[in-house]
Structure 1
Amino acid sequence: MDLLPLFTIIAIALTLGYAVLNGFRDSSTAVAAAVRTRALRPAVAVVVAAFFAFVGTMATTTLSTVLISRLNLQLPEGTVGMKLLIAALLAAGAWLILCWWRGIPVSSTHALMSALVGAGAANSWLGNDSLGGAVQLFTGSVLLPLLITPLIAYFASFLLVVPATWLMRHDTSRDVNARSRAGQAIAACAVALGLGLQDGQRTGATITLVLITGGLMDPGPVAVAIQLVAASALSFGVLLGGWRITYTLSRRLVNFDPLRGMVAQGVAATMLYVGSLVLHLPLSTTQAVTSSIVGAGANQPFESVVWYRVVKVFGHWLLTPVVCILAAAVLALAMDPVG
């Protein structure tokens, strides 16, 4: 019995579920700073974030096209490739749910890419067709961004607090907060747009890969219908709002004012745009926003960062590739007799 059609349906359902989960969690990163400083009310923040995440996903297919070209030639065809995708989506999704429950912001991008590598390694060990270029995929999509994104986001936000403060040096504290809240509301929309450009594009690429692997379409650019489905799933997840992580980002890691929140979100949004439109590199929205918030909040005349909690979050960032590789490998081994 050919189980490929069934596996294809399961993979599409899991991809859409992963997109909803992604939006559910990453809505926190887009709106946490704005909600913390009362630049936006929570209900308004998630609606605005959902809208701009939708727009960002529909705006371009640049990153999606690059991801498809990187993975399509490396992904096994037919049932073997479909089981690899299913194992990766299940492993990454389970880890994200666990971290959300604990209020820990981790990267959905790194979770999925690492899980693909783990499932591919298990297939190779079994003697099946494996994921080609796994080392390059892991290095370029997980390891380098993990090492570089937090550093750039932290130091850029830390340093940009200085000119931002200098420009408002003659204003009253009331005016500074009012202008910063207005800027922060705009910056929150910018981060949500970056979420669509990054995570929404990745969702569209994953759906396309599932259809190609299942033999339902030929390799090529992402169809508008697929973009629409990906944008809708991501935006629906954003509307649900993952408030556990919002609390961690806005209350437990660092104390910051509207000016520093504006700087942090501006830096994070810029990094997401450059990664998607210029470098064609999948960057973690979570890591960009979290590191920017900590960096901007650290540049204050008093100690405002709860460093042991920051270290705990960073430890989970390092743990994410390890856990997802191992979990996906175990699932791929367990699924091997099926089909």
Structure 2
Amino acid sequence: METLLLGAVVCLAGGFAFLNGFHDVSNSVATAVRTRALTPTVAVLLVAVFNLTGALLSTSLALFFTEAAIGLPSGQAGLGILIAGLLAAGCWGLFTWRRGKPSSSTHALLGGLAGAGAASQLTDGQAMAGAGQALLLQIALPLLLSPVVAYVLAYAMVFPATWLLRHSAPGKVNRGNRMAQSVFAGAFALGHGLQDGQRTMAVILLALVGTGYSNGSQMPLWVQVFAAVLLATGSLFGGWRITHTLAHRLVHIDPLRGMTAQGVSSAMLFVGAISLQMPLSSTHTMTSAIIGAGANQRFSTVHRPELARILAVWLGTAPVTALLGGIFFLALSPLL
């Protein structure tokens, strides 16, 4: 039974990676497509290639996540928690895609795992323990603060960008900013691969550690390639519902502000993944940067009702997925 459960974790983790790429490709392409810096086809191909590259470049975040969550129970109980968490995150991802709302796959996964862990404890099973402070300071806090930082930076960076280009002809400015957007779209996709690709790797590595197939000190190559390929494949299919929300329904944005939003969010993903080794939500970072750059105009361009709906989704992600994770674990518990 343990081998069967391990196989289920690997399959569900692959599905999570595919859905992550499918769901989050919008973050990379929305402003570039909206300002006509890239055509939709070229944008999606670019994102898929750089998502694949980013996921293959590093495993440091995955190894940290595995170490921080080392309190996951071993054996079938731990595998059950992972299965329930992945199912909860997948259901929430499909729901938010259907509604056309950007949401964090990382928040959904953490919420699902937390809910499943709580349900395990309620059923007199083993609980997840020993990782509370690390999860709070190194994972939860950066994820919560990144939208605020992205908004403020994007809003502020519009001022120097506008000042530097104040004497240039509008046509020349727009062409230059579209070229910069094309570069930043690839950079953001690379950062997304560095960040989100490692979530899938961490889940599989946790399952391997819990079943004794790995000691967690290094990432198996097949796990890294598996996660990278499925993330890139999901990106190729493209979740255009969310792209429409970010590019058309949320804020009116021009090439300069689109370039600023993508530049800020790309830099944050790289700093978080490489320098600080902290997980950041690509969805929250890009959405907040788009709102921040778009809000810095002489007239109001942010569609506030749509923003309120997106914020409601963000606030509801962790509680809803925690509830789903607990329900799924309770349903699975007779098999564990």
Unaligned 5+ segments in structure 1 are none
Q: Equivalent residue for 2:15?
A: 17
Q: 1:128 aligns with which of 103, 120, 125?
A: 125
Structure 2 equivalent of residue 225 of structure 1: 222
Deviations 1:53-100 (A, max 9, x none): 1111111122122111112x2111010100110000001110110010
In the alignment of these two chains, the number of paired residues is: 336
Aligned to 1:39: 37
SS in 2 for 1:215: coil
Q: TM-score, normalised by structure 2?
A: 0.97
Alignment partners' CA distance in 2, 1:224 and 1:6: 22
Shift of 1:137: 5.9
* Runs of 5+ consecutive residues of structure 2 not aligned to the other structure: none
Q: Is the 8 A contact 1:11 1:82 kept in 2?
A: yes
Is the partner of 2:291 in helix, strand or coil?
helix
- State the match for 1:92 in structure 2: 89
Partner of 2:257: 260
1:53 aligns with 2:51: yes
Are 2:63 and 2:216, in contact at CA under 8 Å, matched by a contact in 1? Answer: no
Q: Does 1:277 align with 2:271?
A: no
Task: Output aligned runs, 1:204-243, within 5 Å.
Answer: 204-243=201-240
- How many percent of aligned residue pairs carry the same amino acid? 45
Q: Is the 8 A contact 2:102 2:283 kept in 1?
A: yes
Give me the whole-angstrom Cα distance separating, in 1, the residues matched to 2:139 and 2:66.
16
* Superposition pairs of residues 305-316 of structure 1, within 5 angstroms: 305-316=302-313
Q: CA deviation at 1:263?
A: 0.4
Matches within 5 A, 1:146-161: 146-161=143-158
Relative distance call for 1:336 and 1:46 in structure 2 (3 A) is same
The whole-number CA distance in structure 2 between the counterparts of 1:315 and 1:298 is 20
Query: In structure 1, the residue corresponding to 2:277 is in which secondary structure?
Result: coil
Q: Does 1:301 align with 2:298?
A: yes
- Structure 2 residue aligned with 1:5: 3
Deviation of 1:215 (Å) = 2.7
Post-superposition offset of 1:288: 0.2
Name whichever of 51-60 and 274-283 sits farther off: 274-283
Rounded Cα–Cα distance in structure 2 between residues aligned with 1:57 and 1:309? 32
Output the CA distance in 2 between the equivalents of 1:147 and 1:310.
17
Q: CA RMSD in A?
A: 1.3
Counterpart CA distance in 2 for 1:316 and 1:141 is 23
* Structure 2: distance between partners of 1:256 and 1:267: 15
Residues 244-255 of structure 1: matches in 2 within 5 Å? Answer: 244-255=241-252
Q: Kindly indicate whether residue 176 of structure 2 is the aligned counterpart of residue 179 of structure 1.
A: yes
Q: Which residue matches 1:318?
A: 315
Tell me which residue corresponds to 1:197.
194
CA contact (8 A) 1:264 1:292 kept: yes
After superposition, the C-alpha distances for 1:212-271 in whole angstroms (9 at most, x for unaligned) are 223333322112222111110100001110000000000000000011000001110111
* Contact 2:68–2:135 (Cα < 8 Å) also in 1: no
